Amino acid sequence: MANDPAPAVRMGRPPATSHDELERIGLELFTTRGFEETTIDEIAGAAGISRRTFFRYYTSKNDLVWGDFDAELSRLRERLAATPPSVPMMAALREAVVAFNRVDAAHVALHRRRMALILGVPSLFAHSTLRFTGWRDVIAEFVGVRVGRPSTALLPQLVAHAALGCAIAAYTDWLQHEDAALEPLLDEAIAELATGFAGHETSAEDEVSAGHDVSAGREVSAGHGADAS
């Protein structure tokens, strides 16, 4: 289970291309002509391989945009596992997610294009749920360990889903502002999550400093008794 490193000499017919090259060609075509408008035949043609061969490298057109995401997920998993227990859960989560999404300055432009495709092309975004699930699983596992519950329990799943939502929202915001930096956005997003989005309402507690009468009960929780049926 660990004899990968270099089988010395290769046997059989040598590969005509590589995952990396296909990814490069695909991203290039997608960003210029559009994702839906680019057919597999065009990508295969540009790479000098047949349509059928393309599918031996990537099982679907969508997978082209995500590199080997699973490998990166392992990174995230290890980083979370290595976080000392003294760091509070949400703080650890924030730190890990921010670090996970940190990209080398030279690759920022590429990352932007990639994420613009993923979050901007509806069908691509839809298909990405598989990857997102993998991401969430890593988070849920970490939270599960922290709270002493199986990762499938409600709370871990909750945090995982919410954290993913924050990450996507932060990314979307990042993509909308050409000059923005991703890191502070992600950091802010998870930080907000950890506070329960408190203190933002224009009319309520945020303004107590002005001596307002907060009036009608905060936390009213009115609609509760109705959970009849």
Residues 163-182 that bind its own copies (CB under 8 A): 163-166, 168-170, 172-173, 176
Of the pair 11, 220, the CB lying nearest its own copies is at: 220
Question: Which does residue 34 touch among its own copies, DNA, none (CB within 5 to 8 A, set by kind)?
Answer: none
Least Å distance between CB 14 and its own copies? 27
- Which residues touch 227 (CB under 8 Å, ≥6 apart)? none
Kindly identify the residues of this chain, within the stretch 85-144, that bind its own copies according to CB under 8 A. 85-91, 95, 98-99, 102, 104-105, 122, 125-130, 141, 144
Using rule CB under 8 A, residue 5 touches its own copies: no
Residues 6+ apart with CB under 8 A from 201: none
Q: Rule CB under 7 A: which of 55-84 touch DNA?
A: 55-57, 59-62
- What are the Cα distances from residue 14, in Å, to 18, 46, 147, 182, 191? 11, 19, 50, 40, 50
Q: Can you tell me the distance from the alpha carbon of 79 to that of 73, in angstroms, rounded to the nearest whole number?
A: 10
Specify the residue for token string 């009115």. Answer: 222
In angstroms, give the least distance from the CB of 5 to its own copies.
Answer: 16
Rule CB under 7 A: is residue 48 a binding residue for DNA?
yes
What Cα–Cα distance (Å) separates residue 2 from each residue in 7, 74, 129, 172?
A: 12, 16, 30, 39
Q: At CB < 8 A and 24+ separation, what contacts does 141-144 make? A: 141/77, 141/80, 142/77, 142/80, 142/81, 142/92, 142/93, 142/96, 143/89, 143/93
| Per CB under 7 A, 5 contacts DNA | no
Binding residue for DNA (CB under 7 A) from 33, 34, 39, 214? Answer: 39
Looking at 1, 2, 6, 9, which residue binds DNA (CB under 7 A)?
Answer: 9
Nearer to DNA, 14 or 225 (CB): 14
Decide: is 3 part of the binding site for DNA (CB under 7 A): no
Q: Torsion angle, CA of 101/102/108/112, rounded to 10 degrees?
A: 20
Q: Would you count residue 10 as binding DNA (CB under 7 A)?
A: yes
Q: Pick one of 25, 29, 30, 49: the residue that binds DNA (CB under 7 A).
A: 49
**Which has the closest alpha carbon to 170: 97, 86, 85?**
97
Among 41, 55, 154, 213, the residue binding its own copies under the rule CB under 8 A is 154
Query: CB of 52: closest distance to DNA in angstroms?
Result: 4
Give residues in contact with DNA (CB under 7 A): 9-17, 38-41, 48-53, 55-57, 59-62
